[in-house]
Amino acid sequence: MEKRGAFYETTGALRDMVQNHALQLLCAIGMEPPINSHADAIRDEKLKVLRSLKPWTPETLAQDVIRGQYGAGAIGGAAVAAYRDELGVNPASQTETFVALRTEISNWRWAGVPFYIRTGKRLAGRDARIVVNFRPTPHAIFNSQIGMANRLVINLQPKDGLELHLMAQGAAQHQTEPALSQVHLNLDFDQRFGTERVGAYERLLLDVIAGRLNLFVRSDEQEEAWRWVEPIMEFWRNDPSGPRPYAAGTWGPSAASAMIAREGHCWNEEC
């Protein structure tokens, strides 16, 4: 406990998760197809995404970046102490344990499409996923009482696999026109591939031994990632309000939900 608290006091969620892990996932989703499967071809495309991230302004830093710090709560029926009560943590700590933000990739393919990133400690669930919400059709030709658009869910942790949520035509006989209802397609990698698969860290070690660099970050990628993150850190240093409190065992500060709701969207557990 003391080691974790001391580590987070000098790091925080932004540097621990957003600058590296979350931005790498954003690049994987937003990059153009590489010319081949070589490491540098892949990293060239990821670099283009990082260089295309919309620059921060004082207005977007205030509205589109939410930081939080967990207070006392309960997870799985067990009481959880507040972050400031953890061993090794300053009782007046301003370190963030939660970050939610909105950004855009300013290029021809993605201009105007919001990308939302959220990460935190002591949340209601321990999972990692990418959710791609497809645009709704501009004109509905089928009867549907459900407004949810089609979406692709890429599960990363604790299980990994793919889910496809679609609106499909039903066969209700009492309706005079075709109706749409939700269908769910699920690919669980453990069930499908079983013992053929290797763990994430095992794969990294095998790549190191084989000299494969596809999953490793190049120095210019690191520089661009830090270039984009540094304005957030500078803004927080000059912001006396500090991180927003949230109870352990919840999904973070309510401001994170309000941020995404401004454009008519919601986090996965709220939809």
Query: Residue 191, Cβ neighbours under 10 Å: how many?
Result: 10
Three-state SS at 61? helix
Three-state SS at 171? coil
Q: Which long-range contacts (CB under 8 A, 24 or more apart) does 177-184 make?
A: 177/142, 177/143, 178/142, 178/143, 179/142, 179/143, 179/144, 180/142, 180/143, 180/144, 180/146, 181/144, 181/146, 182/146, 182/148
- Catalytic position from the list 21, 38, 139, 184: 21
The whole-angstrom separation of Cα 102 and Cα 257 is 12
Q: Is 21 marked active-site?
A: yes
| Cα pseudo-dihedral 228, 229, 233, 236, rounded to 10 | 80
The whole-angstrom separation of Cα 1 and Cα 93 is 16
Interstrand relation of 65-71 and 244-247 (parallel, antiparallel or unpaired)? parallel
User: What Å distances lie between residue 130 and 45, 142, 151, CA to CA?
Assistant: 19, 28, 10
The whole-angstrom separation of Cα 60 and Cα 63 is 5
Three-state SS at 240? coil
> Which residues belong to the active site?
21
